C-alpha cells in the first residue's frame, strides 16, 4: 500500500504542475513510512518540500497555496500530530468554498497516517476520523486495499474540495494489485457477500471483518462485509441495500465507541432500515480511553473474536 500511495503521488506530480507536497521529513527521508520516497530527488525541493515541525503552519501555508490555484498535498506525520492544525482545518479549509459562495474552491488534500496495530506510543495511534466527519465542508476517505490507496488518493488530489485522506498505518505493508479503475469516492463496496448479517467497516477494520467472516462459517453464519471507503460523503444506498437484505448489521472501527463513527452509521442504518432489522445494529469499537501503551493495544483493538461475539448478540432466536 505504501508503494501504491507513492505511485499515486508521483503520477499526480508528473501530470499536474500545480501539485505540491508539504510535510515533515517528506523530502530527503521520504517520510516516516517512506510514502514519499524518491519524490524530492525526482521533482525537486520546491515540489516536495520538507517543512518545519509546525503543523498549523504547514496547513496554513497549504491553504494559501490552494487559494492561489495550486493543489497542495499535506502529510501530517502521525494522526495525533494533526491536532495543532485542527483550527486551520475547521475555521478556514472546510469553510472557504461556502464563505466565498463557491467562488474560491480549496483543492487541498491532507494525508494522515492513522490507527493502531504498529506498537506506537501515545500520539502515534489515534483514530480521529469522527472529528473530520463532523466538520461540514470536508470529504473524508480511507482505503483498505492497495487498489483503493492509489485510486482514491488520485481522486482526492484531483478534487476541488478539501479531502482528509486517512491512511491505515498497519496496512502500509499490505500486498495487492493496482487496478486501472476503482469506484469513485462516495461509493461503498461489497467486499464479501453474505446472507446472515452485514459487517460494516472501513480502513484497518476491513481485513478484521473479512477474517471474522471466514471464521464465522464454522458457526453457521454467512457474513457479508461492506467497505465504506469514503466516510464523507456517506453511501447510504449501498450500505442500506445490504442491511435490508440480511436484516442484521454490526459496525466495526478502531475509534472510541462513544460518539464515534459507528454511532452515526448505526443511526443512519436504523432510520432507513428499521422495518427490515431483525435485531438492533451492533457496534465493535475501540474502548473509550486514550490509546493504550503498545503492550496493551491488542486488547483495545477490535479483532475477529470480538466481531463474532457481537454477531452472536444479534437476537438469532428470532
Could you list the active site residues? 124
How far is it, in rounded angstroms, from Cα 197 to Cα 316?
Answer: 10
All three cell numbers of 93: 479549509
Residue 229 CB partners (closer than 8 Å, separation 6+)? 141, 142, 143, 144, 148, 152, 183, 185, 187, 188, 189, 202, 235
Amino acid at each position: 500500500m505504501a508503494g501504491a500511495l507513492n505511485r499515486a503521488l508521483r503520477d499526480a506530480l508528473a501530470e499536474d504542475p500545480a501539485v505540491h507536497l508539504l510535510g515533515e521529513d517528506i523530502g530527503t527521508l521520504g517520510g516516516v513510512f517512506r510514502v514519499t520516497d524518491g519524490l524530492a530527488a525526482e521533482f525537486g525541493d520546491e515540489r516536495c518540500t520538507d517543512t518545519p515541525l509546525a503543523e498549523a503552519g504547514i496547513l496554513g501555508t497549504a491553504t494559501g497555496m490552494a487559494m492561489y490555484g495550486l493543489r497542495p498535498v499535506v502529510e501530517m506525520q502521525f494522526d495525533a500530530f494533526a491536532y495543532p492544525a485542527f483550527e486551520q482545518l475547521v475555521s478556514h479549509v472546510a469553510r472557504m468554498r461556502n464563505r466565498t459562495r463557491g467562488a474560491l474552491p480549496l483543492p487541498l488534500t491532507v494525508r494522515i497516517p492513522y490507527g493502531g496495530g504498529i506498537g506506537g506510543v501515545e500520539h502515534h495511534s489515534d483514530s480521529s476520523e469522527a472529528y473530520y466527519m463532523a466538520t461540514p465542508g470536508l470529504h473524508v476517505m480511507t482505503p483498505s486495499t492497495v487498489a483503493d490507496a492509489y485510486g482514491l488518493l488520485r481522486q482526492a488530489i484531483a478534487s476541488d474540495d478539501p479531502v482528509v485522506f486517512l491512511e491505515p498505518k498497519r496496512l502500509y505493508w499490505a500486498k495487492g494489485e493496482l487496478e486501472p479503475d476503482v469506484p469513485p469516492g462516495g461509493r461503498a463496496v461489497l467486499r464479501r457477500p453474505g446472507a446472515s448479517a452485514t459487517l460494516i467497516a472501513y480502513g484497518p477494520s476491513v481485513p478484521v471483518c473479512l477474517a471474522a467472516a471466514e471464521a464465522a462459517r464454522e458457526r453457521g453464519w454467512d457474513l457479508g462485509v461492506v467497505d465504506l471507503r469514503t466516510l464523507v460523503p456517506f453511501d447510504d444506498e449501498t450500505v442500506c441495500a445490504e442491511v435490508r437484505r440480511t436484516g442484521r448489521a454490526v459496525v466495526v472501527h478502531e475509534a472510541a465507541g462513544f460518539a464515534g463513527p459507528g454511532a452515526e452509521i448505526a443511526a443512519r442504518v436504523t432510520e432507513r432500515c428499521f422495518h427490515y432489522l431483525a435485531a438492533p445494529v451492533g457496534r465493535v469499537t475501540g474502548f473509550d480511553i486514550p490509546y493504550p501503551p503498545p503492550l496493551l493495544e491488542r486488547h483495545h483493538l477490535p479483532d475477529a473474536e470480538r466481531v463474532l461475539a457481537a454477531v452472536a448478540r444479534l437476537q438469532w432466536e428470532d
